[in-house]
Structure 1
Amino acid sequence: MQRLQAFRCELRPNGQQQRDMRRFAGACWFVFNKALALQKERYEQGQKKLGYAGLCKRLTEWRGGLETPWLKDAPVQPLQQTLKDLERAYKVQRLHTRIAHCRKDDLHKATTTISQNHAMVCIEDLQVRNMSKSAAGTADAPGKNVRAKSGLNQAILDQGGFEFRRQLEYKLAWSGATLIAVPPHNTSRTCPCCGHVSKDNRKTQAHFQCVQCGHEDNADVVGAIHVLRAGQARLACGEDVSRAKSAKALRAASVKQEPAEVSQAEA
């Protein structure tokens, strides 16, 4: 039988070895910061970024120069690994930059298509900043489920909700269309058939089933129906649609408008 087993070992360096390890670590940090400053300087001057081979040549110059001769006292392998770490950090940054550009391009395509094909667009007035607040809390009152909330915050920010709304606002304004933001409260918990409101109507993230009349649909579809109805109500009542109001104020404004519509019909 073949057995694979790992062992954990503890290093116990003596005083001189500890001093050397600290000195070598300091040399690695110095090389990292010096190489990073060199890359920034070349970028500001419009020059091409040096690759790993080019940085290794500079490292040889630094080790043999008059300003930093103490770099010779450190082994060259950790210093070279530091340059690899810097290069990897630039690869990761380029990847994040590419992802951000792809996301922004998709948002521009989507908002352009919407603004060119709709005279009125209704959206939920989502407060992205409040939705993505940290759950870490304070030392006196620490938060709960911090790691899960952190992942949720990142997922919310990755959707680009704020940027999506910003692009919609100015593109719809250019085409003379209207953007209406409505309160998101209970939009996916209210039955579009009987109007019953309950959190039990949405027992899962995707499925909606009214506990009163039995109506079933996708929860996002139900939410979209109510967002559209609320937006149409605000527009019909002649309200200021540039900013969302509370649901209570929305119902009050709609009630105020009803008598005028009835008297006009009777006339």
Structure 2
Amino acid sequence: MERIQAYRFELRPTGDQERAMRRFAGSCRFIYNKALALQKENHAAGNKFISYVAMAKYLTAWRNSSETPWLSDTPCSSSQQALIDLDTAFKNFFEKRAGFPKFKRKGTGDAFRYASSKEFKLDEGNDRIFLPKLGWMRYRNSREVIGELRNVTISKSCGKWFASILTRREVESPVPKAATAIGIDVGIARFATLSDGGFIAPLNSFKKHQQRLARYQRRMGRKIKFSSNWKKANARVQKIHRDIANARKDFLHKNTTTISRVHALVCIEDLQVRNMSRSSKGTIEQPGKKVSQKSGLNRAILDQGWGEFRRQLDYKMAWNGGMFLAVPPHHTSQTCPTCRHISKDNRQTQAKFLCVECGYKNHADVVGAINIVERGHRLLACGEMAQSGHLKKQEPTEARGNSSRRAVEISIL
């Protein structure tokens, strides 16, 4: 089994190295934006899409032009990777996986990449890495890098520079340590409710720092933009954002690691977080309703990190030999797990579930988690899975017996 894994380390550059990295990131941003503008002009003229091979010829002209001589100071492979990133963005747009590519802003997402392992060297014994046109650079060696080196991406986040080293290695096909299956219902009052009755309390990292963040943002707003005092206030705001993101990331990694190690099958709702957190502001002609309430709900949804939670579960289950399924979310908290009666009256409150048909009573989130794992068992029993996490068909409406669940548990073993 082939495992692709990235290792991220904080860099400790000198002043000259940091200035050079800012120039390289700026050059890659310039190339990306210039190529995107060229694609838009080309499309407006009614011409065909410019492929990467054809766009690379424009790059050669830009690097040799007297108007932009500073582009030649940037490593050639990093400049080419900027065009490859734009080409990938257009492919995702054409295949309806993402929106139309946007121009990059200065100070947001500054990064560049060395695409080949022959371009850089890693000296773990001395905690340093060699990068072309930058030389040897110290980094905080927090863990061992395992596998064959593939590429390295240098990025800036909240005033600090990081190196993400991508590796590839062959590992033995893992076998799950347990044959248990679990369903997970994500929410706001409870971050994750498990079908066995347990739950994970939410962290709410943004909510905890919201007032402090607003206070420092007001201070920054009173400064003259780009002055020395403004830059200091901006650094404090960035630090708060970094602390919020790091706390959320640590919380998600710990919980997904625990879940993936003790279960062989994990089922979760296939939620469209982007649609759920969409603004209800509306337009001037048709203004939205309850905009402030919806804004608070959107903020609470995004604070949980459901998308990242699902992404981590997906690859960690594969690493541990388990299976991850994303099932349709329809009526999971309105269906009785005993008599299968579906009614919105079953869920009397946000937390209380009482079946109007058979009288079954439980916590509404626990009922949702039970129905999620039941739905995953039925989908597996019907053989309707194309691959982990992707569905070919919707769930069948007829109920299945416990014999299907036992057959699926045997097949997992």
TM-score range, shorter chain: 0.5 to 0.7
> How far does residue 85 in structure 1 lie from its aligned partner after superposition?
5.2
Higher strand share: 2
1:208 equivalent in alignment to 2:208? no
Q: Which is worse superposed, 132-141 or 122-131?
A: 132-141
Normalised to the residue count of structure 1, the TM-score between the two structures is: 0.62
2:390 pairs with one of 243, 248, 252: 243
Which position in structure 2 is the counterpart of 1:31? none
Higher helix share: 1
Which position in structure 1 is the counterpart of 2:243? 98
Larger radius of gyration: 1
1:115 equivalent in alignment to 2:260? yes
Partners of 2:317 and 2:269 in 1: CA distance: 16
- Give the conservation status (yes or no) of the 8 Å contact 1:237–1:254: no
Partners of 1:42 and 1:124 in 2: CA distance: 49
Normalised to the residue count of structure 2, the TM-score between the two structures is: 0.41
Q: 1:203 to 1:252 in 2, by over 3 A?
A: closer
Correspondences of 1:1-267 after superposition (within 5 Å): 44-45=18-19, 84=229, 86-240=231-385, 242-244=389-391, 249-251=394-396
Partners of 1:42 and 1:95 in 2: CA distance: 27
> How far does residue 92 in structure 1 lie from its aligned partner after superposition?
2.4
Deviations 1:62-118 (A, max 9, x none): xxxxxxxxxxxxxxxx87xx7555433322221121111010011111111111111
> How far does residue 43 in structure 1 lie from its aligned partner after superposition?
10
> How far does residue 124 in structure 1 lie from its aligned partner after superposition?
0.6
Partners of 2:326 and 2:345 in 1: CA distance: 26
Q: 1:131 to 1:219 in 2, by over 3 A?
A: same
Count of residue correspondences: 185
Partners of 2:252 and 2:16 in 1: CA distance: 33
What is the DSSP-based 3-state SS (H/G/I as helix, E as strand, rest coil) of the residue aligned with 2:259? helix
What is the DSSP-based 3-state SS (H/G/I as helix, E as strand, rest coil) of the residue aligned with 1:251? coil
Instruction: Structure 2: state its 5+ residue gaps.
Output: 1-14, 22-158, 160-222, 408-413
2:340 counterpart letter in structure 1: G
| Identity percentage of aligned residues | 54
Partners of 1:215 and 1:254 in 2: CA distance: 17
- Give the conservation status (yes or no) of the 8 Å contact 1:237–1:253: no
Partners of 2:338 and 2:242 in 1: CA distance: 46
Task: Give the root-mean-square deviation of aligned CA atoms.
Answer: 3.0
Partners of 1:213 and 1:93 in 2: CA distance: 54
Instruction: Structure 1: state its 5+ residue gaps.
Output: 1-40, 50-77, 262-267
- Give the conservation status (yes or no) of the 8 Å contact 1:182–1:245: no
